[in-house]
């Protein structure tokens, strides 16, 4: 007996929220990259690097989480919360070493590729482990290999692009720019990074297709998780975190901790 695929819809408001979270996280990570500098021989620079990894890793995970809530089905769904939390930790755990690799020597395409592969692997692992935590009784998952490969390529490519931007904001070029121009560059870059991050997520979602194998076990959507509440909580926490990070940056700038005070080292731009 051939089983049909589970029908689904996309909730536009959640898609927009997921993109907004991705852009906010991207902007703050770009801002924090400028604070960290390029040589981590002080407690201050190491603090900003860790903050950058936390903000970007969490932001990508939060975008992914809200993006999953945008996937609406007429069936009872649930989440394995330990795996969901683990997926968030994976994102941060891979972003941090990727940043260390990027800044551990002279900037080269090879170094960028290695760092991008590390970060991209973390994003892919985060995405698919997070999807593994998403449960729908009465269904089985089928994998679209083309979409799967595409999501991996996008994840690595987006990571390399983001890391290149991080390098640019810790280069001598950044020191020669006015604050207004740098903010404009960051805003534009964050918008593009947001597209790349959400593009990877929704391509990854397309890689997983749910086939109905037992209609009696599907249940009703009302019996599953409250997606509205979860999306609202994650959205509020995300923007509170970004606000806290922004406040820290502004307070540091108020104390005179600007680009000119950071140690950029002697690595080639």
Does residue 67 belong to any structural domain of this protein? yes
**Range of the structural domain that residue 182 is part of:** 8-72+80-253
Q: Residues 215-235: pLDDT tens digits?
A: 777 766 667 787 788 888 888
Does residue 190 belong to any structural domain of this protein? yes
Does residue 94 belong to any structural domain of this protein? yes
Among 145, 129, 128, residue whose Cα is nearest residue 200: 128
Does residue 261 belong to any structural domain of this protein? no
Q: Residues 28-40: pLDDT tens digits?
A: 888 887 766 555 5
Does residue 233 belong to any structural domain of this protein? yes
Report d(CA 144, CA 147) in Å as an integer.
6
Q: Residues 175-216: pLDDT tens digits?
A: 888 888 888 888 898 998 999 999 999 999 988 888 888 777
> What count of Cα atoms within 13 Å lies in the side-chain half-sphere of residue 8?
21
Report d(CA 157, CA 76) in Å as an integer.
35
Does residue 185 belong to any structural domain of this protein? yes
Report d(CA 185, CA 134) in Å as an integer.
37
Among 108, 39, 32, 35, residue whose Cα is nearest residue 264: 39
Work out the mean pLDDT of the chain and round it to a whole number: 83
What is the pLDDT confidence band of residue 238, given thresholds at 50, 70 and 90?
confident
Residue 114: strand, helix, or coil: helix
Instruction: Give me the number of domains the chain comprises.
Output: 1
* Residue 263 near residue 41 (C-beta atoms within 8 A): yes
Say if residue 254 is exposed, middle or buried (CB neighbours under 10 Å; 0-12, 13-18, 19+). Answer: exposed
Does residue 155 belong to any structural domain of this protein? yes
Tally of residues, the chain: 269
Q: What is the pTM of this model?
A: 0.83
Does residue 147 belong to any structural domain of this protein? yes
């Amino acid at each position: 007996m051939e089983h049909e695929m589970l029908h689904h819809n996309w909730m536009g408001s959640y898609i927009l929220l997921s993109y907004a979270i991705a852009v906010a996280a991207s902007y703050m990570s770009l801002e924090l990259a400028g604070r960290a500098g390029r040589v981590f021989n002080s407690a201050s620079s190491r603090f900003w690097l860790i903050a950058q990894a936390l903000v970007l890793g969490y932001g990508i995970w939060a975008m992914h989480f809200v993006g999953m809530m945008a996937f609406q089905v007429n069936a009872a769904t649930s989440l394995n919360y330990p795996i969901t939390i683990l997926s968030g930790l994976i994102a941060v755990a891979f972003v941090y070493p990727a940043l260390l690799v990027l800044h551990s020597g002279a900037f080269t395409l090879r170094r960028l590729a290695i760092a991008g592969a590390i970060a991209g692997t973390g994003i892919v692992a985060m995405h698919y482990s997070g999807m593994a935590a998403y449960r729908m009784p009465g269904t089985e998952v089928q994998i679209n290999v083309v979409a799967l490969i595409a999501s991996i390529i996008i994840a690595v490519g987006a990571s390399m692009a983001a890391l290149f931007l991080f390098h640019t904001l810790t280069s001598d070029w950044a020191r020669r720019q006015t604050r207004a121009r740098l903010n404009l560059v960051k805003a534009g870059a964050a918008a593009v990074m947001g597209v790349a991050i959400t593009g990877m997520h929704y391509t990854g979602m397309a890689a997983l297709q749910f086939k109905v194998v037992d209609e009696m076990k599907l249940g009703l959507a009302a019996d599953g998780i409250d997606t509205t509440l979860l999306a609202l909580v994650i959205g509020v926490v995300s923007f509170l975190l970004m606000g806290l990070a922004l406040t820290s940056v502004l307070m540091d700038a108020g104390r005179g901790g600007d680009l000119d005070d950071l140690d950029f080292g002697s690595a080639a731009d």
